[in-house]
Chain A
């Protein structure tokens, strides 16, 4: 089975610009999660989709971040406008059942805001 796919793998943008990250989960996985690691910190939860619905978005840092999951398939995470502190690695993960089976993570998108 194909894994979780994220793209781009790297993105360098200027402060104030917009960036959209994409995640394709494993087929059949209803649960999709976004996490991120900013420099020197632990990996932190951003939000959780169950199919196309946002189950938990308590980790989203502010309203510059917008996540969508069209038709319960792939998901996008848009940052608009990007700030320097948004630099980090953004990970996507998917799971069929969530807690009981654990997650499969993608390779991440390294975002650098200059």
Chain B
């Protein structure tokens, strides 16, 4: 049974620092991995989708890496801004397209 863990559960950094969010999964037979952002009271916004054959994916200040063999993905956010404050969720796909989510990392970026 797949289990997805996100560490840390919460993180507070001053504006300008880089953010490093970790995601680990127990079963390396995943298909893809998707990072989401959730703002309070809002839905999930897709940030990055990493195909199982890829090692990393980049979009602007965001970079996500994937190491299937070790069951890990890391989301890097460069030069954090107060607008980056949100909960970040990692989710892995099984072969049927079903997502298994982690509990999320709650990020606060202080001005």
Q: Interface on A for B, CB 8 Å cutoff?
A: 4, 6, 31, 33, 35, 41-45, 48, 55-56, 91, 93, 95, 98-108, 110
Contacts and interface: CB of A to CB of B under 8 A. Distances in A.
Contact of A55 (B36, B91, B96, B101): B96
A60 B90 CA distance: 22
Contact of A102 (B4, B32, B89, B103): B32
Contacts, number: 62
Nearest to B89: A43
Interface residues of B, number: 26
A4 B42 CA distance: 13
B22 to A, nearest CB: 16
A88 B43 CA distance: 13
A31 B97 contact: yes
Contact of B98 (A41, A48, A91, A108): A48
A99 B91 CA distance: 12
B46 A99 contact: no
Given A35-B99, A42-B103, A99 B93 contact: yes
Given A91-B43, A91-B44, A108-B43, A103 B101 contact: no
Contact of A48 (B4, B32, B51, B96): B96
Given A42-B103, A48-B98, A103 B43 contact: no
Contacts of A95: 97
Nearest to B35: A102
Contacts of B89: 43
